[in-house]
Structure 1
Amino acid sequence: MEIEKKYRVKQLPENLDSYEKKIIEQGYLCTNPIVRIRRSNEDYILTYKSKFGIEDKQSQNACISNEVEVPLNESGYEHLKSKVDDHMIAKTRYIIPLTDGLKAELDIFREQLKGLFFVEVEFPSEEAASEFVPPEWFGEDVSRDKRFKNNYLATLDGYQEEMFQ
């Protein structure tokens, strides 16, 4: 199960190059349930996410979904890549340590979404999500705003700040 919150960013952290980073490319084969392919550095992954069995207990504090990840080889990834709906998403993800063993995943988008960035945090429990106090550099909680969901972003031809105001 995945329990996460997503935030806008008030100010990018300093020294981003000092953090672990992943170069990510991802696309969607289906959006209900979500079937996604992702290349993260040299790893290739097929992800299935659904709300099946958890619709009745949705948290007010976080987005919850069932998530299963399956490794792919490069040729399988490339084959599925030719079948994605809409656009591939390209982003650099910085992994930034937070308190209590949590990690911020700061996504800075490239290509057609250049100029967009936000941060996600995954939690071990709903309780941890509800007790989370975001760092000062985090902005508004947009966990429930569909405009910040990657499967929606894949449908966009480009990024304009006013679309996200």
Structure 2
Amino acid sequence: MEIERKFLIKELPADLKNYPCHVIEQAYLNTNPVVRIRRQDATYILTYKGEGHMVREEYNLPLNETSYYHLKEKADGIVLSKIRYLLPLEGELTIELDVFQAPYEGLFLAEVEFPDVESANSFTPPDWFGEDVTFSSQYHNSTLSTGTDRPQ
């Protein structure tokens, strides 16, 4: 089970380059339900995500490089590219800050995963976070991959 909230970012932290990051490429074989393949650095993953916004099922299975590229040829829509920065937050939490590449350059989204719904509901975001888009399908990566309903 994945429990997360998602936010637009007002401004990127000035010291962003000081944090660990991953180079991510992901493509969608299906968007309802979500079936995604991801290359994160040199790791390859197949993911199934159930319906929902803040709380939803998520299953990850390892792929090898050959399988990833084979499935990538079958993907629909836009292959998303982004750099994900990992910023520590209060307690055990981590901000996963995604800086998107073309065609979504200029889009910055932060996700924070929580151990339970109560923690997610009581979360107070840092001042540099913008609008809470947790319940907006427009900002799901699967929606972004379709190229429709582009965020402004």
TM-score (norm 1): 0.88
Query: Is 1:95–2:78 an aligned residue pair?
Result: no
- CA deviations on 1:122-161 (whole Å, 9 max, x unpaired) are 100001101111011111100111221101111118x6xx
| 2:131 is aligned with 1:143 | no
- Asked if residue 72 in structure 1 is aligned to residue 63 in structure 2, the reply is yes
Unaligned runs of at least 5 residues, structure 1: 52-57
CA positional deviation for 1:10: 1.2
Taking the aligned partners of 2:40 and 2:8, their CA distance within structure 1 comes to: 22
Match in the other structure for 1:55: none
Q: Deviations over 1:83-135 (max 9, x none)?
A: 00111000000000000210001100002111111111010000110111101
- Flag structure 2 segments of 5+ consecutive residues without an equivalent: none
Q: Count how many residue pairs are aligned between Structure 1 and Structure 2.
A: 152
| Stretches of 4+ aligned residues off by more than 3 angstroms | none
Q: Counterparts of 1:100 and 1:128 in 2: how far apart (Å)?
A: 11
The one-letter code of the counterpart of 1:38 is: R
The structure carrying a bigger helix percent of its residues is: 1
SS at match of 1:17: helix
Identity of aligned residues (%): 48
What TM-score do the two structures reach when normalised by structure 2?
A: 0.95
